[in-house]
Amino acid sequence: MTEGLRLTLTALPGIPLIQDGSDLVSITWEGLARASISLRDGDVLVFAQKIVSKAEGRRVALSQVTPSPRAMALASYADKDPRFVEVVLRESREVLRVRPGLLVVEHRLGFVCANAGVDRSNVGPHGDEEWVLLLPEDPDGSCERLRSAIQATIGARVGVIINDSHGRAWRNGTVGVAVGVAGLPAVQDMRGHPDLFDYTLQITQIGAADELAAAASLLMGQADEGTPVIHARGFPYPLREGRLPELLRPREFDAFR
């Protein structure tokens, strides 16, 4: 048997519901043990944004939010809850598009997405109160802390991604993308690699962390929180320091704002 290049993603079983203060590192150990996976150098762990945000206490009670006049105006046009829009604006640098049912912004971290990634579904049972969930304060930092804790515990040099589901400008359906990265190339630069026939490649950069985030997202699903941690073995590029900003197009090169 000639084994081909292989990428294996495993949804860690038995991850419990995550709450404010949950220890994601120990929860990950337990999930890896349940799946009989021993971490190796070069493995990557992908965490759903939702559980990182919950563990970091990024819930906001809408009852505590007073919408600004701007939030009220946008909410009226977008047909959304003004308190929700207020939270979105606080998480945003700029509003790019607003249409009925649609609010696309540049998140304060620099990426473009709907609702600044603020999420209403699956935030958890809290009586009658309505809660929303923000992205982690500093997702790259969250990844780095997870990566360091893992390396300190067992010595394996792994990569860590936090992913979320984003819509696209011209395609239906959400796909997983990286919103935080540590320890792997977010973008793999292929510039200067000649192809098989020595024609220098036109496509020069691969969104490697986004491709792995999308693969992990397939296994996470959307309808529940049952599989929010994915182990990946076989990421084909050498690990290195890597950060989310590699994936963010500078404003001056943005042709679609």
Binding residues for a second copy restricted to 148-187, rule: CB under 8 A: 165, 168-177, 186-187
Distance in angstroms (rounded) separating the CA atoms of residues 89 and 74:
10
Closer Cβ to a second copy, 31 or 136, answer by number: 31
CB 54 within 8 Å of CB 133: yes
Distance in angstroms (rounded) separating the CA atoms of residues 133 and 86:
13
Interaction of residue 218 with a second copy, rule CB under 8 A: yes
Interaction of residue 2 with a second copy, rule CB under 8 A: yes
Interaction of residue 105 with a second copy, rule CB under 8 A: no
CB 106 to a second copy: min, Å:
8
**Of the candidates 90, 108, 120, 145, which one interacts with a second copy according to CB under 8 A?**
120
φ and ψ at residue 102, rounded to 5 degrees = -135, 130
59 CA to centre of own chain: 17
Helix (H, G, I), strand (E, B) or coil at 5: coil
Interaction of residue 17 with a second copy, rule CB under 8 A: yes
- Window contacting a second copy (CB under 8 A); options: 53-61, 69-77, 151-159, 231-239: 231-239
**Of the candidates 21, 36, 128, 155, which one interacts with a second copy according to CB under 8 A?**
36
For residues 206-242, one letter each, b for 16 or more C-beta atoms within 10 angstroms of the residue's C-beta and e for the rest, the string is ebbbbbbbbbbbebbeeeebebbbbbbeebeeebeeb
- Window contacting a second copy (CB under 8 A); options: 4-12, 63-71, 139-147, 150-158: 4-12
DSSP state of 199: P
**Of the candidates 133, 219, 228, 239, which one interacts with a second copy according to CB under 8 A?**
219
Kindly write out the interface string for residues 57-86 of this chain, putting x where it contacts a second copy by CB under 8 A and - elsewhere: ------------------------------
- Window contacting a second copy (CB under 8 A); options: 62-70, 71-79, 118-126, 143-151: 118-126
**Of the candidates 62, 81, 145, 207, which one interacts with a second copy according to CB under 8 A?**
207
Helix (H, G, I), strand (E, B) or coil at 131: strand
φ and ψ at residue 220, rounded to 5 degrees = -75, -30
| DSSP H helical ranges for 13-68 | 24-34, 49-55
